[in-house]
Amino acid sequence: MALRGRTAGELKGRQIASLLLLLVIFALGSQTVPLYSDWLWFQEIKLPSVFLTILTTKLLLAVTSGLAFAVLLYVNLLLASRFTATDVLLEVEDRFGLPSRLVIEPYFRRLLLPGALGLGVLSAFQAAGEWESYLRFANTLPFGVPDPIFQKDASFYVFRLPFLSFLYNWLMASLGLTFLLTTLTYLLYRGIQITARGPIIARLARTHLLVLGALLLLTKAFGFKLDTYQLLFSPRGLVFGAGYADINANLPALKFLMILAIFAAILCLAQITQRGWRLVLGGLGLLVAASVIGLALYPGFIQRFRVVPNEIVAESPYITHSIRFTRQAYGLDRIDEVEFPAEEKLTREDLRRNDLTIKNIRLWDHRPLLTTYGQLQEIRTYYKFVDVDNDRYQIDGEYRQVMLSAREMSYQHLPSRSWINEHLIFTHGYGAVLGPVNRITPEGLPEFLIKDIPPVSTGPIKVTRPEIYYGEVANDYVIVKTQAQELDYPSGDKNVYSTYAGKGGVPLDSSARKLLFAARFGTLKILLSSDLTAESRIMYHRQISERVRKAVPFLRFDRDPYLVISRDGRLSWIIDAYTVSDRYPYSEPIRGMGNYIRNSVKAVVDAYDGSLAFYMADPTDPVIRVYAQAFPGLFRPLDAMPADLKDRLRYPQGMFTIQAKLFSTYHMRDPQVFYNKEDLWSIPRKAMEGREAEMEPYYTIMRLPGEKKEEFILLLPFTPNKKDNMIAWLAARSDPPHYGKLIAYNFPKAKLVYGPRQIDARIDQDSFISQQLSLWSQRGSSVIRGSLLAIPIERSLLYVQPLYLAAEKGSLPELKRIIVAHGNDIAMEETLERALTQVFGGTARAPVASKAEAGGAQTAARDGSLKVLASRAYDHYARAQELLRQGNFAGYGEEVKRLESVLKELRARAGR
């Protein structure tokens, strides 16, 4: 009977072991399909070395970690079972009702190896996830910046400390679990017996557990050592990083605890030769008591009675550290600060000298323009404009700012969402629209330099390859070069079809490949479709942001890829990539990002074939140099980028926004001023769609003070905290040779300079403007107020705000008025030129070259209509009456003169 029971137990043990083995094989096998399809994709984009480097690193960590943990566990549990066989001769009593050792033995013997391997697999999966921190650790390069406390280079914290922390956590978890399972094994094998008189522990079991305890305490001592470095990321103090209490209380306590943990480990080993548990319990008691006192009570006491009564004196050195390292981490130390007088002496002659700046003032906001583009140029319901990008091109010899948007395929708007339609026929978007930022038609709609399907160009910029297979929106996959005709573009009542002629996609040249992707995308149609041929190619990871993240998962990418047109007419996407870290000492973190950032890479994706290129934009960044060392050949020098694409590079809004937010605080470099927040700035807020939000940075072409020519600038104003007047503005330069340079223009602190909210309020209080807005609203139209742009010109500021009208039941915004403000003067006119003339006087020229901006008289003559002139006459009359009621006789006289001029012109037109 005993033999039969033992045989049955062995059989069950084998079954359980087989089940565990099958689970492990299934877990590994389920990764085969995505792994191999990813390998084919990396071959397609010509980056197989990136795939292999990441995979081999994961395997190295997984195998090392998994085997180490499995061996550690297996050896200790095996020793526990063997020790009890020779050391335990008598089972005193069983208070838990455990089965006999003879029953447990066959199960244990069968499950020990597969169980250790199974737990090792779990450890392997966890370790494989640390591939990036290991690559940083293995390829460390110096920053050349020592921390102020331990004098260790910042590279230790950014590259080495994260992996060392992982090793510590792995050791603690492995040893801790081994200790617990070893203890459980001794309980099952009666090496530890719980009796009414207390626990009885066999001699070898006691020795074994004491050795494991000593190893745990030595590992904990290593953890205390790492914790001393972690103090530089303490969030407890006045600023991020170690403060007075951390350095003068926590740091000595951690050093003491490290020594005490080593001492407690020695006591564990000494206890082997001594009876009882006095040494171990004494050591552990001291360690726990010291932890509570040294890490909780004592730092709190120091903070309350030493720091708080004299905080600025105590914390001043650490505030200085935080300011310096935060400015380094975000590149704020590279910002040049200059004075800007913000005079209110802008003249018509100044505008003429800055003619190109005036011509490039953006009158079209992204949101209303996107809606208008959709109504005018989507052509079919399945085409959508997802975003409007801001760029600049040379047009007819002039440097002009333009708005550009790709016409992409929207699969959710297909007339019939069958598998063939989604994956074989409707495979790509088509073309783009492009127009100047400031030109409008007489109807208040944007002018186009590129429009329609196929693309029609009225300027030097041509689109020769309009197909967009890779864009900002995409489905899971499409298959090209099939027997099904691909829709190229609609033409009247018919469609024009084409066959893909590029090299994008993975070849489906065998049944095995079809089976692979059928499993990958969960459909048999890929395997069974008769439309697929030996030439067919499957395109996946077509969405731009997803594509670049898949290719280089260790970089953080900007949320806004932008479309560019190369000199040969091809469409490409450029997306900015960032190196980030949350381990830069003393640097203030930003939630979800970290506390270190550099715009170190520019990625280019071809819209037709999906080819990828990554260019190193900031070779001074140690993080990108570490990745370049880990992935040889991945990053190309920026000089290798084609010149026509290099001309399209712009400073990224995402990084600029982060820098601006931090600069609003960290422009203060004096610790006393910083502590008191005496000069704290804010980003102005504006009303948008019924809620208030911070102003977004905006691109413009302008001539910076002291420079000789205009350039593409990203800028953002600042206001003092909780005030609305402007105090400074920050500019980022995008044109070579000054790309990436940031300049802060500080206003005189004793001078009141109107900020955006104050200008908005003055616009609302202007009776003439508010009357017009009310009239438009009463006529069933919705008034959309565009972004209020502050344009620095010479030594002054010019504010410009466009107004759009949209029918309440329609969605076609039309640009109807331009508001211009300078100093105390505000004007609202139909064109920017006339508004500038209203504010600055002089004869209306045509510095803003457009069909509508060529002057009101030329527009009326060209259109053969008197409606515009009549509307202008009424506007001047209403404004004159309002100025008369206000007692502003000078302004009343000017308006009457303008009214007279318009009436004369109206009479002349009427007489023709």
Q: What is the pLDDT of residue 175?
A: 97
Give the count of beta carbons closer than 10 Å to the beta carbon of residue 253.
22
For the chain, what is the mean pLDDT? 88
pLDDT confidence of residue 3: 45
Using DSSP's 3-state secondary structure scheme, residue 707 falls into: coil
Give yes or no for residue 171 having a pLDDT over 70: yes
Over residues 648-660, the mean pLDDT reads: 96
Identify which has the larger pLDDT, 898 or 288.
288
pLDDT per position as a tens digit, 371-396:
999 999 998 999 999 999 999 999 98
pLDDT at 859: 40
Q: Which pLDDT score, from 0 to 100, does residue 81 have?
A: 87
Query: Which of 97-101, 146-150, 830-834 shows the lowest per-residue confidence on average (mean pLDDT)?
Result: 97-101
Identify the pLDDT of residue 809: 59
pLDDT of residue 189: 83
| Two tokens, residue 752 | 């009141």
Instruction: Specify the pLDDT at position 360.
Output: 93
What pLDDT is stored for residue 297 in this prediction?
Answer: 95
Higher pLDDT, 865 or 801: 801
Partnered with residue 398 across adjacent β-strands are: 395
Distance from C-alpha of 792 to C-alpha of 799, rounded to nearest angstrom: 9
pLDDT of residue 12: 54
The answer to whether residue 866 scores a pLDDT higher than 80 is no
Lowest mean per-residue pLDDT among 182-196, 782-796, 823-837: 182-196
User: What is Dmax (Cα atoms) for the chain?
Assistant: 127
What is this structure's pTM? 0.86
Q: In whole angstroms, what is the distance from residue 635 CA to residue 54 CA?
A: 16
d(CA 9, CA 4): 9
| pLDDT value at 769 more than 50 | yes
Beta-strand ranges (E) seen in 532-675 are 537-540, 556-557, 562-565, 571-581, 596-606, 612-616, 635-637
Residue owning tokens 């195998």: 63
Q: Is 671 helix (H, G, I), strand (E, B) or coil?
A: helix
Helix axes 48-87, 32-44, angle to 10 degrees: 150
Q: What is the mean pLDDT of residues 254-269?
A: 97
Residue with the bigger pLDDT between 821 and 896: it is 821
Higher-scoring residue by pLDDT: 286, 778: 286
Stretch 742-767: mean pLDDT, rounded? 91
pLDDT average, residue stretch 171-183: 96
Asked whether the predicted pLDDT for residue 18 surpasses 60, the reply is no
Beta bridge partners of 792: 797
Q: Which of 242-246, 388-392, 414-418 has the lowest mean pLDDT?
A: 414-418
Give the pLDDT band (50/70/90) at residue 750: confident
CA 517 to chain CA centroid, Å, is 31
Q: What is the mean pLDDT of residues 407-426?
A: 93
pLDDT at 870: 75
Which of the residue ranges 98-107, 110-119, 455-464, 775-784 would you say has the lowest mean pLDDT?
A: 98-107
Per-residue pLDDT at 576: 97
Which tens digits make up the pLDDT trace of 473-529?
999 999 999 999 999 998 888 899 999 999 999 999 999 999 999 999 999 999 999
Look at residues 494, 497, 377, 388 and name the one whose alpha carbon lies nearest to residue 431. 377
What is the distance between the alpha carbons of residues 497 and 282, in angstroms, rounded to a whole number? 84
**Burial track 260-295 (b if 16+ CB lie within 10 A, e otherwise):** bbbebbebbbebeeeeeeebbeebbebbeebbeebb
DSSP SS3 for 96: coil
- Residue-wise over 408-440: b if at least 16 C-beta within 10 A, else e? bbbbeebeeeeeebbbbbbbbbbbbbbbbbbbb
More confident residue, 99 or 403: 403
* pLDDT, tens only, 333-365: 999 999 999 988 888 899 999 999 999 999 999
DSSP 456-509: EESSS---SB-EESSBSS--SEEEESSSSPEEEEEETTEEEEE---S--SEE--
Portion of the chain with pLDDT greater than 90, in percent:
71
* Per-residue pLDDT at 889 exceeds 80: no
Highest mean pLDDT among 97-111, 213-227, 794-808, 830-844: 213-227
Confidence of residue 190 (pLDDT cuts 50, 70, 90): confident
Collapsed DSSP state (helix, strand, coil) of residue 513: helix
Measured in residues, the chain has a length of 912
Residue 890 pLDDT exceeds 50:
yes
Helix (H) or strand (E) holding 804: strand 796-807
On the question of pLDDT at 30 being above 70, the answer is no
> Angle 20-24-28 (CA atoms, 0-180°, nearest 5)?
170
Mean pLDDT across 840-855: 46
